[in-house]
Structure 1
Amino acid sequence: MNTSFFAKVAGSALIAVSMFAAASASAATTVLNFNGESASFSATYGPGVASFSDDFLFNVPAASTSDPVGTVTLSATKVGKFLVPTINNTSLSFFKINADHSHTALDTTYDANGFYLASVLPTGMYGFNFAGNIKNVAKGGSYGGTLTMNVSAVPEPGTYAMLVAGLGLLAFTARRKASK
C-alpha cells in the first residue's frame, strides 16, 4: 500500500512538472492559406503560458516575386479607463527556408505601422516568426494579423525574345523607310 501511495505521488508530481514546463513557453508552426493575395494569422494563449514563438510559413509561387507587408493586432484588457495590451516584448522577423530546411534571416521592419521587408522576395519558401511574452500569465492573451503578398509575375524568357524580335522589326522598318 505504501508503494502504491508513493507511485501515485511521484506520478502526480511528474504530470504537474511536465504541464508547467509545457505551459511556460509555447511554439507553433502554421502554413498560411491565402485568399487572393492576403492571409490571416492568429493565436490565443490561455492561462499559464508565459511566452510564445510562432512560425508562419508561406510560398512565393514560381515565375513571380512578392513584396509582403502585414499588420498585427494584440488583444487588450481594460485597466481602469485604459485598454492595455495583454502581450508585450513582441518581435517579428522574416526568414528564407533553404533547401536543407535551415533558415536565413531577412532584413525585417516591424513597428506600430506593421511589418515589411527591405527587399522583394523571389520564388521560394519563406516564413516569419512572431514572438512575445504574456503580461498576465494567469489570464493569457492573443493576437491576430494579416499578411498581404503583393505578387508580380516575372516574364518568361520567351516573352523577352518576342520583345527583342518586335524591336528588331521596328528598327528594320524604320531603317528601310529612312533609306527611301
Structure 2
Amino acid sequence: MKKLTFAVLWALAGLSAHAAPVTSLPGGVVLPMPELNYFGSGPLSLAPGVDWSSAYGDSVFGYSGAYGFADNGMWQGVTMAGTNDQVSTMTLAFGQAVAGVGAFFNYSPRYFGPATIAVYDANHTLIESTTLTFITDGGLNQGEFHGFLEHSPSISYFSMTGAYVGAADFTVQAVPEPGTYAMLLAGLGLLGIAARRRQA
C-alpha cells in the first residue's frame, strides 16, 4: 500500500510540473480585446484580473490595422496583440491562476525563425513551452490556435516571444474540463494496477 501511495503522489507531482500543449480549449472563454490601436509596452488590462505587457516599447495591443507576417500572410481587421519585434516577449498575467490558456497566432518565420510560447506559475517557474513552426499559404487572416492545458489552475503567466508574433482571441479555461479529470483518474488507475502486479 505504501508503494501505491508513493506512486500516486509521484504521479501527481509530475503532473503539476507540466502542461499539455493544445490546439484548442473546448469550453474555454474568449477574452474580448478592446480596439485601442495602442503602441507601447503596457501594462494594459485585457479583462478584469488579466493584464498584458511587453518588453518592447513599440509592441501593439488592441491593434486592428494591417499587420504583416511576411510569407505567412497578414492580418487586417483582426484585433490583436503583437510583439512588433523579432526577439521581444509579451506576457499575459493572471491575477487568479487558470488551468488553460491559448490564442490564435501567426508569426514571421521566414526571416526571424520560430516563435515560442510558454506558461509559468505564480513564482515565475516554467511549467511548459512550445515552439510555433506552422507555415500558412500566405493569405489573409490565417494562423493557428495554440496553448496549454494543466490538470489544475496553476498558470499565472502566458508569454509569447520572437518573430513578430501576433495573438488574437485569447482564450482561458479557469478549471479543467471533466475529460481532464477522467484522464488523470485513468492514469492513476493504471499506476495502481501496475503496482498490484509488481506486488503479486
Calculate the TM-score normalised by the size of structure 1.
Answer: 0.38
Q: Which has the higher strand share?
A: 1
Calculate the TM-score normalised by the size of structure 2.
Answer: 0.35
